[in-house]
Amino acid sequence: MLTIGTRGSALALAQTTWVRNQILSRFPDTRVTLKVIKTSADKDAASSIRSGSGVGVFVKEIEEALLAREIDLAVHSMKDVPTTIPDGLEIGAIPEREDPHDALITRGQAGTLDELRSGSVIGTGSVRRIAQILVLRSDLRILDIRGNVDTRLQKLASGAYDAIILACAGLNRLGLGGRISARLPFDQMLPAPGQGALALEIRKDDPIAHPLIAALHHVPSAVSVLAERAFLRRMGGGCNAPVAVHATYDEGRVKIEGLLAALDGSRVIRDSVIGDHDMAEEAAAALADRIRTQGVRDRLESLL
């Protein structure tokens, strides 16, 4: 028997159902049940994530249930998982990553960020996205937006926004990839650390859960994602910091691109490094040090 903990949103349930089906396809005699757990973010859906610390608001209660042995496995969106894991828990597997790009979804005829008219209203709750949008288009208006994917799409359709930005991965997992107006290229919009990846979290002392999820672990995705998390950890930022990073694994080498920007888009620091896969986290930390040093000179350090 295996009990999987998850948030109750359509996306969280889609991700968790995929994990359950993958386990059952390999271990058909396993009894797998799902337990929906409300997190801090779910309990206060009206407030902006940026109004508080933001760290762990999507996972805290699920991790508590895991430690209390109320569930045996937690399925998270990796970008929601803080860089510090509670004692007694570990990320047991990272499945193959979905598309890590950000998606622009427009209400009118505009198909790209460049085609939006001056003064267009963009909906996003991410300072990372806000800063990078303003680097490219300081003439656009940014308004906060909350809610699950369906709620945000409804707000766009109602005319509250001219465009919104969501993760391609979430739209794809919900079968809504056709709604994407443009996949924003990395030279325009670097993603959040771990965007598009899932984190399968278990108790370290659980001898049953780990074998059930081991086959789902995808090494190239894990190497890239762990490097991105090492970058964020070294930068000292959470989801409220305008920090972005993306790592690409290719034939034993990993390229890591990182970014720190001013909230208003007036200044941006971007750098990259290439290293061996077995030293990817160290390379990511070194890249973060370089960007932090430049951030001190550019007076951006206070954002972290």
**Which residues are registered as beta bridge partners of 33?**
3
Q: Name the DSSP letter for residue 86.
A: P
Q: Name the DSSP letter for residue 12.
A: H
Q: Return d(Cα 301, Cα 298) in angstroms, integer.
A: 8
Catalytic residue ranges: 80
In 3D space, the residue among 47, 39, 104, 41 whose CA is nearest the CA of residue 74 turns out to be 39
Q: Name the DSSP letter for residue 301.
A: G
Query: Are 123 and 74 spatial neighbours (Cβ–Cβ below 8 Å)?
Result: no
> Which parts of the chain are beta strand (E)?
2-6, 32-36, 73-77, 89-93, 102-106, 121-123, 141-143, 163-167, 182-184, 198-203, 243-250, 253-261, 268-276
Other Cβ atoms less than 10 A from the Cβ of 223: the count is 20
SS (H, E, C) 18-82: HHHHHHHHHCCCCCEEEEECCCHHHHCCCCCHHHCCCCCCCCHHHHHHHHCCCCCEEEEEHHHCC
- Angle of helix 280-297 relative to helix 219-235, nearest 10 degrees, comes to 30
- Cα angle, residue 8 at apex, residues 163 and 36 outer, rounded to 5°: 165
